[in-house]
């Protein structure tokens, strides 16, 4: 089952996943309007993890690669995003 804490962990790991790929990092920065130096401050915001999952969900290949890196099914990325967005109902989704 996907819990809110697991969804938060998936969202937190999204930044490392994106940062490991220079092209993906550049695309994320372009979409967000952030500069590299702004990432640490932005990451402290409550919605940044949701933004990162949204970014990953924009491209099927990103979703597949990220899900594989997390050891979860691809639909779990969407479930994590939904769980964080809608206030979390632990156990609402199975992983």
In this structure, is residue 93 part of a structural domain?
no
In this structure, is residue 65 part of a structural domain?
yes
In this structure, is residue 38 part of a structural domain?
yes
pLDDT, tens digit only, all 95 positions of the chain:
789 999 999 999 999 999 999 999 999 999 999 998 888 899 888 899 999 999 999 999 999 999 999 999 999 999 999 999 986 554 444 44
pLDDT value of residue 7: 93
**How far apart, in Å, are the Cα atoms of 92 and each of 24, 28, 83, 84?**
30, 29, 8, 12
pLDDT value of residue 43: 86
Q: How far apart are CA 66 and CA 80, in angstroms?
A: 12
Using DSSP, how many helices (H) and how many strands (E) does the chain show? Answer: 6, 0
Question: What total of structural domains would you count in the chain?
Answer: 1
In this structure, is residue 91 part of a structural domain?
no
In this structure, is residue 95 part of a structural domain?
no
Q: Cite the beta strand spans of 2-57 per DSSP E.
A: none
Structure tokens at 7: 């969804």
pLDDT value of residue 89: 52
pLDDT value of residue 46: 81
Its domain, for residue 44, covers 4-86
pLDDT value of residue 80: 95
């Amino acid at each position: 089952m996907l819990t809110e804490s697991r969804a938060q962990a998936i969202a937190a790991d999204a930044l490392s996943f994106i940062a490991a790929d220079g092209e993906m990092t550049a695309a994320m920065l372009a979409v967000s309007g952030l500069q590299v130096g702004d990432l640490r401050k932005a990451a402290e915001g409550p919605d940044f993890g949701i933004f990162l999952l949204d970014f990953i969900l924009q491209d099927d290949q990103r979703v597949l690669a990220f899900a594989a890196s997390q050891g979860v099914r691809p639909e779990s990325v969407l479930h994590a995003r939904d769980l964080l967005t809608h206030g979390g109902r632990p156990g609402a989704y199975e992983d």
